[in-house]
Amino acid sequence: MHLDTVLGKQFAPIEHLVTPRDCMLYALGIGVGDRPEDPRDLQFTYERGLKFFPSLVNVIAHPGSWIQAPELAIDWVKLLHGEQAFTMHAILEPGKTYVGTYQVLDVVDKGPGKGALLFLRKDLREKGMEAVVSTVTSTYFLRGDGGCGGTTTQAPAPHPIPDRAPDLTCTLTTLARSALIYRLSGDYNPIHADPEQARKAGFERPILHGLCSLGVATRAVLASCCNDEPERLKSLQLRFSSPVYPGETLVTDLWRDGDCVSLRSRVAERNVVVLNNGRAVVA
């Protein structure tokens, strides 16, 4: 990695007209619609009274494969998506154009052979407006870039999960075709569709997108803690700890402490934690 080049990376603003189709397709990709006649699902999947699903902010105005730029010298083949967080400052709406602006915030060097962490921030604004409507942060684990130097050597501590039985549990099943639907929202990495490419990457078959799993966890928070009212979800953060295979069942445990909700998701079929150290703030 060329550290100074990475930290000084300039991103052109990215405009995204979020059509009703974008909203409905995203919602279907994360499994909304398994209650096809229920107003709680139809609000995200039917054009009458259509609402913007909160975690859609993670995929709109996406910068594409910027991290592969040769001048950055990042060993992008060894990249893993480590953490993701989003904050809703306002209610977004279908049919409006949003502009994403990006900044590399920090790089944490874990040392030679130990990799590095890159922290990226996206601010979303409605086109023509100054106010930020959503902030999205991503943490990338760059396994091949340890020893590159960095802005700090200390990464933020993960949110601790309470040491008690969960207050609530939400079980949601993904579809065998979930990744094939979700990829139409913009992430066409072949490891989510092509069995041969998935095996080359070390997986027995195509895996579900990490941000799709995040969307499923967001559904769990909305259903369990927000009465399926999206405007009540103010923020969500979590850590990706293991891949999910399409068709698996995600069991999300939730702990309520005032307006803070801690969460952790596991795959029922393999009893493996796949999303960890989650924290949501709800109204």
Amino acid at site 251: V
Please answer whether residues 115 and 141 qualify as being in contact, where contact means their C-beta atoms are separated by less than 8 angstroms.
Answer: yes
* Catalytic residue selected from 100, 192, 209, 215: 192
* Catalytic residue selected from 210, 228, 253, 278: 210
Q: Tell me if residue 106 is catalytic.
A: no
* Catalytic residue selected from 82, 109, 207, 215: 207
CA distance 206 to 244: 9
Please answer whether residues 210 and 182 qualify as being in contact, where contact means their C-beta atoms are separated by less than 8 angstroms.
Answer: no
* Catalytic residue selected from 81, 149, 187, 247: 187
Q: Tell me if residue 257 is catalytic.
A: no
b/e map 231-256, b = 16+ CB within 10 Å:
ebbbbbbbbbbebbbbebebbbbbbe
Please answer whether residues 58 and 87 qualify as being in contact, where contact means their C-beta atoms are separated by less than 8 angstroms.
Answer: no
Q: Tell me if residue 91 is catalytic.
A: no
Token pair 């029922």: residue: 268
Residues marked as catalytic: 187, 192, 207, 210
